[in-house]
Amino acid sequence: MCDDLYGMPLLGDKLPKLEVQTTMGMMTIPDDFEGKWFVLFSHPADFTPVCTTEFIAFQKRYQEFRALNCELVGMSVDQVYSHIKWVEWIKDNMDIEIEFPIIADTGEIADTLGLIHPGKGTNTVRAVFVVDSKGYIRIILYYPQELGRNMDEILRVVKAMQIADQEKVAMPANWPNNEIIGDHVIIPPAKDIKTAKERTQKYECFDWWLCHKKL
């Protein structure tokens, strides 16, 4: 159940405390991931084709997420028995073992996080919440039922946000393959004249407000 029903969370909010039934037992989120980043993602339903491809894609990249100190947890408005059977089907038919937990939601969590697809009954949208090691929501992505997610992009944004935090920098479009500065990162703009002048001498710059460096 949800401990704090205050409406759909936004970027920068702490993820509401959720006590949930999963395929790996009862969990309290975000408490059980303390000190780790995690990706909480919802899917419309078990035993559906696009969702099956997504879970396989997430699993194939699971070790890459874990290398970033980031866990995965799936969710849909399905009973845990359905999740267990679906995971078994994927193992038996696709030879892929899903190693991360899947939340069995009664609908309360989906309502709290704003995941119900308009006009599609109780089905959840394909939502992604990237949550940092302190339990704060850093990225929210929403996809319709008809479009499967790009897991390489989700990996990219986790890595990019971690670097942005650690290095106190910003990340350019399409990082690490930006069309202008490649894999460089952006130095935050100066807030005074003295720093603005120093920036052009210390970093590579197109102007004082657009400076970049290699990690």
Q: How far apart are CA 8 and CA 73, in angstroms?
A: 19
Band of pLDDT at residue 125, cut at 50, 70 and 90: confident
Task: Assess whether pLDDT exceeds 60 at residue 196.
Answer: yes
Using left for φ > 0, alpha for ψ between -120 and 50, and beta otherwise, residue 167 falls in alpha
- Average pLDDT score, the chain: 92
Domains of the chain in sequence order? 18-149 (3.40.30.10), 168-215 (3.30.1020.10)
Give me the pLDDT at residue 106, please. Answer: 80
pLDDT digit string, tens, across residues 25-59: 999 999 999 999 999 999 989 999 999 999 999 99
Band of pLDDT at residue 118, cut at 50, 70 and 90: low
Task: Assess whether pLDDT exceeds 80 at residue 130.
Answer: yes
Give me the pLDDT at residue 9, please. Answer: 86
Which residues on neighbouring strands pair with residue 137, listed in sequence order?
A: 131
Look up the pTM and report it.
Answer: 0.90
What residues have CB less than 8 Å from 165, skipping those under 6 apart?
A: 132
Residue of 2, 51, 70, 211 marked active site? 51
Q: Tokens 């078990």 identify what position?
A: 46
Reply yes or no on whether 51 is catalytic. Answer: yes
